[in-house]
Chain A
Amino acid sequence: MMELKVKRVERVDGVKEAIFLPAIFNGLRLTVKHFWRNLFGARDVVTINYPEEKRHVSPRWRGRHRLTRLDNGFLSCVACYMCETVCPSKCIHIEAGEHPDLSVEKYPVVFDIDELRCVFCGLCVEACPKDAIRMDTGVVSMAYTSRQTFDFTRDLLRDNYDPKVHSNPKYEDQDLPKPDNQSEALPHSQGIPAA
């Protein structure tokens, strides 16, 4: 039979340990310090009160989709079906139509995204030749009470985006590294060799 491996911890004995009071006072010093620091202004508290305060989301983070507009306010989308074709979860549904105004090319009469089927892979954004669909809304979570609400229609995708709502100056770019120079940003980079 194999001998059990038991790690033996050295006990600290002595009067100082036996009367508990020095250890208790040391502990109290620490907890009271935190208590006083947080009593006046919650200085050590790192909590973000979520629904009111939001943490900054990186611009590259793939959130809910939006449809971009041209300068004249019309949709950039030309209903080329690229995104619908490339979409691996088949959640995009487009119906193209002709506009009475001849200066406008094809445009989407229907542009639905079923956000429940979407896997947020971002392929639609890459496929789009007109930069018409983006995933930069910064909406981290969508929580609705019915399935129909998740079927985002064209006008919702176009209008339901407000850059001011989705950024919080208090936690702006908090997690992103802020390098001072290039060698700090890319510590293992050899640099471009001189020609």
Chain B
Amino acid sequence: MDFLLEIIMTPAVLACIKIAVIILLFAMPLGTVLTLMERKWSAMIQDRVGPNRANIGKFTGHGLLHLAADGLKSIFKEDTIPKGANGFLYLIAPFFGLIAAVATFAIIPIAGPIGDFTFQVTDVNPGLLFIFAITSLNVYGAVLAGTSSNSKFALLGGTRASAQMISYEVFMGLALMGIFMVYGTTRVSGIVNGQNEYWFGDLVPMWGIFTQPLGFILFFTALVAETKRAPFDAPEGESEIVAGYFLEYSGMRWSAFMLAEYVSLVGVAALMTTLFFGGYHVPWLHLWESAPQWLVTVLQILKFTFFTVVFCWFQIQLRWTVPKFRFDQTMGLGWKKLLPLSLVNIIVTALVILTLA
């Protein structure tokens, strides 16, 4: 028994367990449910009913069974490869996006540490720089799928995806400089703990949204563009290039693209919660000094999950509200407006920090 415990407590094994738990119990289930929720919620926005027909006998679960139905359908569907496609790249492309989307969760803490044990896979020193690296990998899936499909529409989609990634990656990094300056670190745990301080006594928590309101809008915009969702869904471009880079895919590989989109949506929500809404810290909980440790941890997990779900909802709401940008408008917005704005944000933040210090 002790031997087993010793093996489990080895850092490598422990990290593997954390990865499995965070991915299998948090990221993937939430992403999977969101594929249905997007359809249900968009139906509510547009005064429709949404999917409600899949059933086992009388049980439909308000459309919940569509998850199982969709999964079954994808598995049994033929996995087609178009003529002239680059087979190897075509087959592995869907999983680039999925891996990149899942890898975001490596540095996101979902609750405060208990002793030496952290609710975070790894707290690397570069912290958010790791996120930048991983989200850039995200576009490989789109580009490889686009080039290997031997289809003009897919190629156009892949090209658009890469162009959009390059232009939005730039100010995505610059938008976060303000956060780095305010909290003085790129480590995620440092930023989260920095947000547990308060202004005016115990009145207002020093959340990122209050210290960096402009940075919040810029970073959020950049992340929405990174996930290639509306209003920045030019790479998919249903109206002009059919479905963009994953046009030729079918069956489970197509589902992998969908799943990657929704897992990265959850990733964006978790990242926004961590960086701008105090992470796992429940505001004003420190006033209750005799709170038992287990209750604090449970509350922290609940708070983190709640904010993540709210942000997932907000992204879906945004998608069904804002019309699509034309591709040149996307580029113009990125280079001509958001990039200068993020530079201004850095300068203003630096000036304010200098004056206050």
Which of A's residues lie within 8 Å of B, judged by CB?
Answer: 18-21, 24, 27-28, 30-32, 34-35, 38-39, 42, 44-47, 49
Contact = CB atoms under 8 A, between A and B. Distances in A.
Interface residues of B, number: 17
Interface in B7-21: none
Nearest to B52: A49
A14 B320 CA distance: 25
B45 interface: yes
A149 to B, nearest CB: 25
Given A27-B321, A38-B47, 9 more contacts: A19-B337, A21-B217, A24-B318, A24-B322, A27-B322, A31-B320, A32-B317, A34-B44, A44-B47
B49 interface: yes
Contacts of A49: 49, 52
A90 B43 CA distance: 48
Interface in B131-150: none
B317 A31 contact: yes
Contacts of A20: 333
B321 A24 contact: yes
Q: Which of B44, B49, B52 has the most CB of A within 10 A?
A: B44
Interface of B: 41, 43-49, 52, 217, 317-318, 320-322, 333, 337
B318 A42 contact: no
A34 B43 CA distance: 10
Q: How would you classify the secondary structure of chain A's contact residues: helix, strand, loop or mixed?
A: helix
B222 to A, nearest CB: 14
Contacts of B43: 38
Nearest to B221: A20
Nearest to B314: A28
Nearest to B49: A47
Contacts of B320: 31
Nearest to A34: B45
A45 B322 contact: no
Q: Which of B41, B43, B321 has the most CB of A within 10 A?
A: B321
A128 B321 CA distance: 59
Nearest to B53: A49
A35 B318 contact: no
A27 B43 CA distance: 16
A35 B41 contact: yes
Contacts of A47: 48-49
Contacts of B317: 28, 31-32, 35
Considering the complex of A and B, which 4 residue pairs feature the smallest CB-CB distances, nearest first?
A38-B44, A27-B321, A44-B47, A31-B321
B69 to A, nearest CB: 18
18 contacts: A18-B337, A19-B337, A24-B318, A24-B321, A28-B317, A28-B321, A30-B321, A31-B45, A31-B317, A31-B321, A34-B46, A35-B317, A38-B44, A39-B44, A45-B48, A46-B47, A47-B49, A49-B49
A57 to B, nearest CB: 22
Contacts of B46: 34
B49 A28 contact: no
A113 to B, nearest CB: 34
A44 B46 CA distance: 9
A47 B51 CA distance: 12
Contacts of A28: 317-318, 321
A27 B46 CA distance: 13
A19 B221 CA distance: 12
A46 B46 CA distance: 11
Nearest to A40: B44
A59 to B, nearest CB: 29
A191 to B, nearest CB: 43
Contacts of B49: 42, 45, 47, 49
Contacts of A27: 321-322
B47 A34 contact: yes
Contacts of A19: 337
B83 to A, nearest CB: 38
Contacts of B333: 20
Nearest to B313: A35
A39 B313 CA distance: 13
Nearest to B47: A44
A49 B46 CA distance: 16
B45 A35 contact: yes
Nearest to A30: B321
A47 to B, nearest CB: 5
